[in-house]
């Protein structure tokens, strides 16, 4: 009971704080589409996507990477289909993965038809550039028959020549006009299982484009800052841009694009949503930045705790704090925490002090309490059913 009160109090506090800070962000109202069994838009929680970085023709490597993404918590995966051999690989890939699969295709209608034949759950094509109108009609007809949504992906770097001539450069307005053209093509074929993305490599244009398009259509948005860069740089840029979009309720699904393994894209996405209180994806680790008051090797302790927590999927808040001045407050608020002193750590659970342990035992003892917390909670939930 005590632990239930502790966790309910924490949740209530968090929601109150979010509300008082104006962080209770309403979502834009959109239609819903389904990629496999995953709902996008229509009020569903924000969905995390990634894209494989293997050669899709290398079926084994692609399946292995997708399965790793599944374990990391990715919800939808996209693969690039540059040629017919890659399209043919979809049949086996689709058979051996659990994640909904999107085929990303440019210019070649035959590849889109093959992808649909092999059971993909979503297509990313640009209707205006996929080939002659008759071919588009064939693709749209098959997508409709199979209830497969199409994402229109407008990229500032590949806008139509006449739009570049009209606007002088790839402005947000030009991107939106391009998206509307593609949307109308599908709507004229009585197709509305549509998602839209408007990507530029700078935040200002990306945000401006989504804001503009949101005033004109109610299709769900796939968001992201494209070509954001390597891990650290790309994370910061993506998080800055996506936070602005999330703040305005303009994100229904998103990918963090990084020059890094795709699992890192998913981890960053999860941490972003968790930090904003928009989702819970396994443990939350709170740790202090360390200052001269710290009298243990906190960086090592945090590193080991983080590694050990990475295998846990359940939500739990763990705090690792460096001193007895500011540490006990955070450690007490967490589900499990430690506040360190000179060569020791005081372990907390559910707001209570448990015991003092030597520095070399902090990680072991903390993780023991984490496991016990998860076991007790799971037992309690089973009993409540």
Q: Which residues bind ligand SF4 (CB under 6 A)?
A: 288-291, 293-294, 321-323, 325-327
d(CA 340, CA 356): 9
**CB of 295 vs ligand SF4, minimal distance in Å:** 8
Nearer to ligand SF4 (CB atom), residue 300 or residue 378: 300
The nearer residue to ligand SF4, 230 or 329, going by C-beta atoms, is 329
Q: Strands (DSSP E) along 200-250, which ranges?
A: 222-223
What's the chain's length in residues?
Answer: 385
Report the residue number, 77 or 294, with the smaller CB distance to ligand SF4.
Answer: 294
Q: Contact at 8 Å (CB) between 262 and 71?
A: no
Min CB(163)–ligand SF4 separation in Å: 52
The C-alpha angle with vertex 56 and arms to 52 and 60, in degrees rounded to 5, equals: 90
CB 332 within 8 A of CB 306: no
- The least CB distance from residue 289 to ligand SF4, in Å, is 5
Give the nearest residue (CB) to ligand SF4.
322
Give least dist CB 319 to ligand SF4, A.
10
Q: Which residue has the tokens 């954001």?
A: 228
Q: Report the residue number, 16 or 299, with the smaller CB distance to ligand SF4.
A: 299
Of 120 and 296, which CB lies nearer to ligand SF4 in the complex structure?
296
Q: Which two tokens stand for residue 7?
A: 């966790």
The answer for residues whose C-beta is within 8 angstroms of residue 60's C-beta and 6 or more apart is none
Phi, psi of 24 (to 5 degrees): -85, 70
Q: Which is nearer to ligand SF4, 98 or 353 (CB)?
A: 353
* Least distance CB 360 / ligand SF4 (angstroms): 19
- CB crowding 209-241: b at 16 or more within 10 Å, else e: bbbbbbeebebbbbbbbbbbbeeeebbebbbeb
Rounded to a whole number of angstroms, the minimum distance from the CB of residue 299 to ligand SF4 is 11
């Amino acid at each position: 009971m005590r632990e239930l009160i502790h966790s309910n109090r924490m949740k209530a506090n968090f929601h109150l704080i979010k509300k008082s800070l104006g962080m209770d962000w309403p979502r834009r109202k959109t239609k819903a589409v389904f990629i496999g069994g995953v709902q996008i838009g229509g009020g569903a929680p924000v969905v995390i996507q990634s894209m494989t970085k293997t050669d899709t023709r290398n079926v084994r490597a692609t399946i292995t990477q997708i399965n790793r993404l599944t374990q990391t918590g990715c919800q939808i995966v996209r693969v690039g289909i540059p040629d017919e051999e890659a399209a043919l690989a979809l049949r086996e890939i689709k058979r051996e993965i659990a994640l909904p699969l999107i085929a990303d295709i440019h210019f070649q209608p035959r590849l889109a038809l093959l992808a649909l034949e092999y059971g993909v759950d979503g297509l990313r094509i640009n209707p205006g550039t996929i080939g002659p109108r008759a071919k588009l009609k064939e693709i749209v007809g098959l997508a409709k028959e199979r209830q497969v949504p199409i994402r229109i992906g407008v990229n500032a770097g590949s806008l139509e020549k006449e739009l570049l001539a009209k606007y002088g450069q790839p402005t947000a307005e030009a991107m939106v006009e391009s998206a509307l053209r593609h949307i109308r093509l599908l709507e004229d074929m009585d197709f509305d299982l549509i998602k839209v993305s408007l990507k530029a490599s700078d935040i200002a244009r990306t945000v401006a484009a989504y804001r503009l398009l949101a005033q004109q259509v109610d299709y769900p948005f796939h968001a992201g800052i494209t070509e954001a860069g390597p891990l650290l740089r790309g994370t910061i840029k993506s998080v800055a841009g996506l936070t602005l979009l999330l703040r305005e309720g303009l994100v229904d699904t998103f990918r963090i694009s990084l020059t890094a393994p795709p699992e890192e894209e998913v981890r960053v996405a999860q941490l972003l949503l968790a930090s904003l209180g928009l989702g819970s994806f396994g443990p939350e680790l709170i740790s202090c930045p360390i200052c001269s008051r710290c009298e243990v090797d906190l960086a090592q302790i945090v590193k080991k705790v983080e590694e050990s927590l990475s295998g846990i999927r359940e939500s739990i808040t763990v705090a690792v704090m460096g001193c007895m001045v500011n540490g006990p407050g955070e450690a007490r608020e967490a589900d499990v925490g430690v506040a360190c002193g000179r060569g020791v750590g005081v372990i907390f659970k559910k707001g209570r002090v448990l015991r003092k342990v030597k520095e070399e035992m902090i990680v072991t003892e903390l993780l023991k309490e984490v496991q016990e917390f998860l076991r007790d909670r799971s037992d309690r939930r089973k009993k409540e059913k």
